[in-house]
A = this chain, B = another copy of it.
Amino acid sequence: MKVSIIGATGYTGEELLRILSGHPEVEIIHITSESSTGTAINQIYPHLTKLYDNVLDSMKDLDSIAAHSDVVFIALPHGHAMEVGKKLAQQNVKIIDLGADYRFSDPKVYEKWYKVVHTHQEAKAVYGLTELYRKDVTTAKIVGNPGCYTTASILALAPLVKQKLVKLDTIIVDAKSGVSGAGRSLSLNSHFTEMVENLKAYNVGGHRHTPEIEQALTGLASENVVINFTPHLIPMARGILSTCYANLKQGVTPEQVDEAFHAMYSDEYFVRLLGRGGYPATKQTRGSNFCDIGWHVDSRTNRVIVISAIDNLVKGAAGQAVQNMNVMFGLDEKTGLMQAPLYP
Protein backbone atom coordinates (compact mmCIF):
# COMPACT_ATOMS: atom_id res chain seq x y z
CA MET A 1 0.00 0.00 0.00
CA LYS A 2 1.47 3.34 -0.99
CA VAL A 3 1.10 5.98 1.69
CA SER A 4 1.85 9.70 1.73
CA ILE A 5 1.69 12.14 4.62
CA ILE A 6 0.93 15.82 4.14
CA GLY A 7 2.48 17.67 7.07
CA ALA A 8 4.87 15.13 8.48
CA THR A 9 6.87 17.20 10.95
CA GLY A 10 4.30 17.75 13.71
CA TYR A 11 3.83 15.17 16.43
CA THR A 12 0.88 13.58 14.62
CA GLY A 13 2.82 13.19 11.39
CA GLU A 14 5.82 11.83 13.22
CA GLU A 15 3.65 9.37 15.12
CA LEU A 16 2.22 8.11 11.83
CA LEU A 17 5.77 7.45 10.70
CA ARG A 18 6.58 5.63 13.92
CA ILE A 19 3.56 3.38 13.65
CA LEU A 20 3.79 2.79 9.91
CA SER A 21 7.44 1.76 10.21
CA GLY A 22 6.09 -1.47 11.67
CA HIS A 23 3.19 -1.94 9.25
CA PRO A 24 3.91 -4.87 6.96
CA GLU A 25 1.78 -3.66 4.04
CA VAL A 26 2.86 -0.03 3.88
CA GLU A 27 5.41 1.80 1.82
CA ILE A 28 5.93 5.50 2.53
CA ILE A 29 5.99 7.50 -0.71
CA HIS A 30 5.80 11.23 -0.02
CA ILE A 31 6.11 13.09 3.22
CA THR A 32 5.75 16.83 3.09
CA SER A 33 6.57 19.97 4.98
CA GLU A 34 6.46 23.45 3.54
CA SER A 35 8.89 24.90 6.05
CA SER A 36 11.41 22.05 5.80
CA THR A 37 11.19 20.99 2.17
CA GLY A 38 14.39 19.27 1.13
CA THR A 39 15.40 18.26 4.63
CA ALA A 40 15.71 14.61 5.62
CA ILE A 41 13.08 13.64 8.17
CA ASN A 42 15.72 12.15 10.45
CA GLN A 43 17.40 15.52 10.76
CA ILE A 44 14.21 16.86 12.28
CA TYR A 45 13.51 13.69 14.25
CA PRO A 46 16.86 11.98 14.84
CA HIS A 47 15.14 9.08 16.58
CA LEU A 48 13.94 7.96 13.11
CA THR A 49 17.51 7.43 11.90
CA LYS A 50 17.92 3.99 10.24
CA LEU A 51 14.12 3.69 10.09
CA TYR A 52 13.58 6.41 7.49
CA ASP A 53 15.87 8.29 5.16
CA ASN A 54 13.04 10.04 3.31
CA VAL A 55 13.44 13.66 2.38
CA LEU A 56 10.57 16.08 2.91
CA ASP A 57 8.74 17.21 -0.22
CA SER A 58 6.53 20.20 -0.75
CA MET A 59 2.81 19.56 -1.00
CA LYS A 60 2.61 21.89 -3.97
CA ASP A 61 2.33 19.13 -6.53
CA LEU A 62 -0.64 17.40 -4.94
CA ASP A 63 -1.69 15.71 -8.15
CA SER A 64 1.58 13.91 -8.39
CA ILE A 65 1.41 12.92 -4.72
CA ALA A 66 -2.08 11.56 -5.30
CA ALA A 67 -1.02 9.69 -8.39
CA HIS A 68 1.71 7.86 -6.47
CA SER A 69 -0.40 7.04 -3.43
CA ASP A 70 -3.23 4.73 -2.41
CA VAL A 71 -3.95 6.80 0.65
CA VAL A 72 -2.93 10.24 1.85
CA PHE A 73 -2.89 11.24 5.51
CA ILE A 74 -3.35 14.94 6.15
CA ALA A 75 -1.77 16.24 9.35
CA LEU A 76 -2.18 19.98 8.90
CA PRO A 77 -3.76 22.62 11.13
CA HIS A 78 -7.51 22.96 10.77
CA GLY A 79 -8.56 25.24 7.95
CA HIS A 80 -5.66 24.07 5.79
CA ALA A 81 -6.63 20.42 5.50
CA MET A 82 -9.86 21.10 3.60
CA GLU A 83 -7.94 22.95 0.88
CA VAL A 84 -5.75 19.91 0.40
CA GLY A 85 -8.65 17.51 0.76
CA LYS A 86 -10.65 19.34 -1.88
CA LYS A 87 -7.94 18.82 -4.46
CA LEU A 88 -7.19 15.24 -3.48
CA ALA A 89 -10.88 14.39 -3.59
CA GLN A 90 -10.76 14.66 -7.37
CA GLN A 91 -8.10 12.00 -7.60
CA ASN A 92 -8.21 8.25 -7.19
CA VAL A 93 -6.86 8.21 -3.67
CA LYS A 94 -8.29 7.77 -0.23
CA ILE A 95 -7.94 10.54 2.32
CA ILE A 96 -7.61 10.45 6.09
CA ASP A 97 -7.52 13.85 7.76
CA LEU A 98 -6.23 13.96 11.32
CA GLY A 99 -7.50 17.48 11.97
CA ALA A 100 -10.96 18.92 12.55
CA ASP A 101 -11.99 19.89 9.01
CA TYR A 102 -13.86 16.68 8.16
CA ARG A 103 -15.26 15.79 11.57
CA PHE A 104 -18.58 17.62 11.46
CA SER A 105 -21.67 16.60 9.57
CA ASP A 106 -23.01 20.13 9.96
CA PRO A 107 -20.54 22.70 8.57
CA LYS A 108 -22.33 25.39 10.60
CA VAL A 109 -21.16 23.80 13.81
CA TYR A 110 -17.62 23.64 12.49
CA GLU A 111 -17.71 27.24 11.40
CA LYS A 112 -19.12 28.44 14.69
CA TRP A 113 -16.50 26.74 16.86
CA TYR A 114 -13.50 27.06 14.54
CA LYS A 115 -14.21 30.56 13.19
CA VAL A 116 -13.34 29.49 9.66
CA VAL A 117 -15.51 29.21 6.55
CA HIS A 118 -15.77 25.58 5.43
CA THR A 119 -14.76 25.42 1.78
CA HIS A 120 -15.32 21.73 1.12
CA GLN A 121 -18.88 21.18 2.27
CA GLU A 122 -19.69 18.75 -0.52
CA ALA A 123 -17.18 16.23 0.86
CA LYS A 124 -19.00 13.14 2.06
CA ALA A 125 -16.59 12.50 4.90
CA VAL A 126 -17.07 9.73 7.43
CA TYR A 127 -16.30 10.33 11.11
CA GLY A 128 -13.60 7.80 11.84
CA LEU A 129 -14.25 6.66 15.36
CA THR A 130 -13.71 3.13 14.18
CA GLU A 131 -15.53 1.18 16.88
CA LEU A 132 -18.73 3.16 16.29
CA TYR A 133 -18.71 3.82 12.56
CA ARG A 134 -16.70 0.95 11.14
CA LYS A 135 -19.20 0.08 8.45
CA ASP A 136 -19.15 3.61 7.06
CA VAL A 137 -15.38 3.77 7.22
CA THR A 138 -15.15 0.62 5.07
CA THR A 139 -16.40 2.44 2.02
CA ALA A 140 -15.30 5.97 2.81
CA LYS A 141 -13.34 8.08 0.40
CA ILE A 142 -12.60 10.69 3.07
CA VAL A 143 -12.29 10.00 6.78
CA GLY A 144 -12.31 12.73 9.39
CA ASN A 145 -10.22 11.20 12.16
CA PRO A 146 -11.56 12.07 15.63
CA GLY A 147 -9.87 14.33 18.15
CA CYS A 148 -7.94 12.93 21.08
CA TYR A 149 -10.21 14.06 23.91
CA THR A 150 -13.23 13.10 21.87
CA THR A 151 -12.09 9.55 21.22
CA ALA A 152 -11.60 8.90 24.91
CA SER A 153 -14.82 10.64 25.91
CA ILE A 154 -17.16 9.20 23.28
CA LEU A 155 -15.93 5.65 23.83
CA ALA A 156 -16.55 6.11 27.56
CA LEU A 157 -20.09 7.41 27.19
CA ALA A 158 -21.41 5.69 24.07
CA PRO A 159 -22.79 2.52 25.68
CA LEU A 160 -24.74 4.46 28.29
CA VAL A 161 -26.12 6.97 25.85
CA LYS A 162 -27.02 4.41 23.24
CA GLN A 163 -28.80 2.24 25.78
CA LYS A 164 -30.52 5.31 27.21
CA LEU A 165 -29.37 4.54 30.73
CA VAL A 166 -28.45 8.11 31.65
CA LYS A 167 -30.15 11.47 31.73
CA LEU A 168 -28.74 13.28 28.75
CA ASP A 169 -28.70 16.73 30.33
CA THR A 170 -26.47 15.64 33.20
CA ILE A 171 -23.33 14.68 31.30
CA ILE A 172 -20.05 16.23 32.44
CA VAL A 173 -16.64 15.31 31.05
CA ASP A 174 -13.61 16.30 33.09
CA ALA A 175 -10.62 15.46 30.90
CA LYS A 176 -6.87 15.53 31.50
CA SER A 177 -4.18 15.49 28.85
CA GLY A 178 -0.41 15.29 28.57
CA VAL A 179 1.30 18.27 26.99
CA SER A 180 1.99 16.62 23.62
CA GLY A 181 -1.67 17.33 22.87
CA ALA A 182 -0.64 20.96 22.44
CA GLY A 183 1.73 19.99 19.64
CA ARG A 184 5.28 20.98 18.81
CA SER A 185 4.67 24.69 18.39
CA LEU A 186 6.37 26.67 21.10
CA SER A 187 4.30 28.46 23.73
CA LEU A 188 4.62 29.41 27.36
CA ASN A 189 1.97 26.79 28.18
CA SER A 190 4.25 24.09 26.80
CA HIS A 191 7.48 25.52 28.22
CA PHE A 192 9.11 22.86 30.35
CA THR A 193 9.93 25.06 33.31
CA GLU A 194 6.39 26.42 33.47
CA MET A 195 4.55 23.12 33.12
CA VAL A 196 6.64 20.67 35.12
CA GLU A 197 5.25 20.31 38.65
CA ASN A 198 2.18 22.20 37.47
CA LEU A 199 -1.46 21.49 36.68
CA LYS A 200 -4.27 23.63 35.32
CA ALA A 201 -7.52 23.78 33.42
CA TYR A 202 -7.78 25.69 30.15
CA ASN A 203 -10.45 26.70 27.63
CA VAL A 204 -13.08 26.01 30.27
CA GLY A 205 -16.46 25.98 28.57
CA GLY A 206 -14.98 26.71 25.18
CA HIS A 207 -12.82 23.81 24.00
CA ARG A 208 -13.45 22.78 20.40
CA HIS A 209 -13.74 19.12 21.21
CA THR A 210 -17.04 19.90 22.95
CA PRO A 211 -19.23 19.99 19.81
CA GLU A 212 -17.49 16.90 18.46
CA ILE A 213 -18.45 14.88 21.53
CA GLU A 214 -21.96 16.33 21.42
CA GLN A 215 -22.36 15.41 17.75
CA ALA A 216 -21.52 11.78 18.41
CA LEU A 217 -23.66 11.50 21.54
CA THR A 218 -26.55 13.22 19.81
CA GLY A 219 -26.33 10.68 17.03
CA LEU A 220 -26.31 7.77 19.46
CA ALA A 221 -29.18 9.15 21.52
CA SER A 222 -31.24 10.35 18.57
CA GLU A 223 -31.89 13.49 20.56
CA ASN A 224 -29.93 16.62 21.26
CA VAL A 225 -27.13 16.30 23.81
CA VAL A 226 -25.35 19.26 25.40
CA ILE A 227 -22.49 18.64 27.80
CA ASN A 228 -19.83 20.30 29.90
CA PHE A 229 -16.32 19.52 28.85
CA THR A 230 -13.32 20.76 30.85
CA PRO A 231 -9.79 20.00 29.65
CA HIS A 232 -6.74 20.09 31.93
CA LEU A 233 -3.04 20.13 31.22
CA ILE A 234 -1.00 17.49 33.07
CA PRO A 235 2.80 17.48 33.51
CA MET A 236 3.49 14.47 31.29
CA ALA A 237 4.06 14.10 27.55
CA ARG A 238 1.47 11.51 26.50
CA GLY A 239 -1.88 10.27 27.68
CA ILE A 240 -5.46 11.33 28.16
CA LEU A 241 -7.79 10.42 30.98
CA SER A 242 -11.47 11.27 30.65
CA THR A 243 -13.57 11.21 33.81
CA CYS A 244 -17.22 11.27 32.76
CA TYR A 245 -20.21 11.86 35.01
CA ALA A 246 -23.91 11.30 34.36
CA ASN A 247 -27.05 10.71 36.39
CA LEU A 248 -28.59 7.30 35.88
CA LYS A 249 -32.21 7.15 34.89
CA GLN A 250 -34.59 5.99 37.56
CA GLY A 251 -34.27 2.29 38.24
CA VAL A 252 -31.17 1.57 36.21
CA THR A 253 -29.11 -1.11 37.94
CA PRO A 254 -25.34 -1.50 38.08
CA GLU A 255 -25.73 -4.73 36.12
CA GLN A 256 -27.43 -2.90 33.28
CA VAL A 257 -24.51 -0.52 33.17
CA ASP A 258 -22.08 -3.43 32.99
CA GLU A 259 -24.09 -5.06 30.24
CA ALA A 260 -24.14 -1.93 28.15
CA PHE A 261 -20.35 -1.83 28.10
CA HIS A 262 -19.99 -5.50 27.34
CA ALA A 263 -22.62 -5.39 24.63
CA MET A 264 -20.81 -2.68 22.80
CA TYR A 265 -17.19 -3.64 23.34
CA SER A 266 -16.80 -7.37 23.96
CA ASP A 267 -15.66 -7.93 20.41
CA GLU A 268 -13.58 -4.79 20.09
CA TYR A 269 -9.90 -5.60 20.31
CA PHE A 270 -8.73 -2.08 21.05
CA VAL A 271 -11.19 -1.43 23.87
CA ARG A 272 -10.20 -3.10 27.11
CA LEU A 273 -12.93 -3.14 29.75
CA LEU A 274 -11.60 -3.01 33.29
CA GLY A 275 -15.10 -3.47 34.60
CA ARG A 276 -17.02 -1.93 37.45
CA GLY A 277 -14.54 -0.76 40.11
CA GLY A 278 -11.57 -1.03 37.75
CA TYR A 279 -9.80 2.21 36.88
CA PRO A 280 -7.45 2.83 34.00
CA ALA A 281 -4.06 4.53 34.14
CA THR A 282 -2.78 6.35 31.08
CA LYS A 283 0.60 4.68 31.26
CA GLN A 284 -0.98 1.30 30.68
CA THR A 285 -1.95 2.45 27.20
CA ARG A 286 1.18 4.43 26.31
CA GLY A 287 2.42 3.86 22.80
CA SER A 288 -0.49 1.51 22.03
CA ASN A 289 -3.85 1.82 20.31
CA PHE A 290 -5.81 0.60 23.34
CA CYS A 291 -8.59 2.50 25.06
CA ASP A 292 -9.04 1.25 28.63
CA ILE A 293 -12.37 1.83 30.34
CA GLY A 294 -13.59 1.34 33.92
CA TRP A 295 -16.67 2.59 35.73
CA HIS A 296 -18.30 3.12 39.10
CA VAL A 297 -22.00 3.21 39.92
CA ASP A 298 -22.51 5.51 42.85
CA SER A 299 -25.49 4.51 44.95
CA ARG A 300 -25.23 7.63 47.13
CA THR A 301 -25.90 9.99 44.23
CA ASN A 302 -27.29 7.65 41.59
CA ARG A 303 -24.57 8.75 39.22
CA VAL A 304 -22.34 6.66 37.01
CA ILE A 305 -18.71 7.66 36.63
CA VAL A 306 -16.88 6.30 33.61
CA ILE A 307 -13.14 6.70 33.24
CA SER A 308 -11.26 6.07 30.02
CA ALA A 309 -7.57 6.26 29.14
CA ILE A 310 -5.78 6.43 25.82
CA ASP A 311 -2.48 7.53 24.36
CA ASN A 312 -3.53 10.80 22.76
CA LEU A 313 -1.07 10.39 19.88
CA VAL A 314 -2.07 6.79 19.12
CA LYS A 315 -5.74 5.91 19.67
CA GLY A 316 -6.31 9.66 19.91
CA ALA A 317 -4.64 10.40 16.55
CA ALA A 318 -2.20 8.41 14.42
CA GLY A 319 -3.08 4.92 15.67
CA GLN A 320 -6.77 5.33 15.02
CA ALA A 321 -5.91 6.80 11.61
CA VAL A 322 -4.01 3.63 10.76
CA GLN A 323 -6.88 1.55 12.16
CA ASN A 324 -9.17 3.41 9.76
CA MET A 325 -6.76 2.87 6.88
CA ASN A 326 -6.77 -0.85 7.59
CA VAL A 327 -10.55 -0.88 7.54
CA MET A 328 -10.72 1.17 4.34
CA PHE A 329 -8.42 -1.26 2.55
CA GLY A 330 -9.90 -4.47 3.87
CA LEU A 331 -6.94 -5.40 6.04
CA ASP A 332 -7.18 -6.86 9.51
CA GLU A 333 -7.86 -3.78 11.62
CA LYS A 334 -5.01 -4.65 13.97
CA THR A 335 -2.31 -4.79 11.30
CA GLY A 336 0.70 -2.77 12.41
CA LEU A 337 -1.04 -1.84 15.66
CA MET A 338 -0.16 -4.76 17.89
CA GLN A 339 2.70 -3.08 19.77
CA ALA A 340 2.46 -3.62 23.50
CA PRO A 341 2.21 -0.46 25.60
CA LEU A 342 5.57 0.92 26.71
CA TYR A 343 5.40 0.40 30.43
CA PRO A 344 6.87 1.53 32.75
A residues bordering B, Cβ < 8 Å?
Answer: 11, 14, 17-18, 21-22, 45-51, 169-170, 172, 174, 176, 178-180, 182, 184, 186-188, 190-202, 204-205, 226-228, 230, 232, 234-239, 241, 243, 245, 269, 272, 274, 279-288, 290, 292, 296, 298, 300-301, 303, 305, 307, 309, 338-344
Q: How many copies make up the complex?
A: 4
Contact call B235/A241, Cβ cutoff below 8 A = no
Among A21, A182, A184, A340, chain B packs the most CB atoms within 10 A around the CB of A340
User: Nearest-CB distance from A71 to chain B (Å)?
Assistant: 20
C-alpha gap A279/B180 in the complex (Å): 21
Contact call B50/A200, Cβ cutoff below 8 A = no
Contact call A48/B340, Cβ cutoff below 8 A = yes
Contact call A47/B236, Cβ cutoff below 8 A = no
28 cross-chain CB contacts under 8 A: A21-B338, A45-B343, A47-B284, A47-B288, A47-B343, A50-B272, A172-B172, A172-B303, A174-B245, A176-B199, A180-B193, A184-B191, A186-B186, A192-B194, A192-B196, A193-B344, A196-B237, A198-B281, A199-B282, A200-B279, A200-B280, A204-B296, A204-B305, A204-B307, A205-B305, A228-B305, A232-B243, A234-B235
C-alpha gap A339/B205 in the complex (Å): 34
C-alpha gap A249/B199 in the complex (Å): 30
Contact call B22/A197, Cβ cutoff below 8 A = no
Complex: chain B residue closest to A274, CB-CB = B46
Contacts of A269 in B (CB 8 A): 50
C-alpha gap A288/B49 in the complex (Å): 12
User: Nearest-CB distance from A144 to chain B (Å)?
Assistant: 23
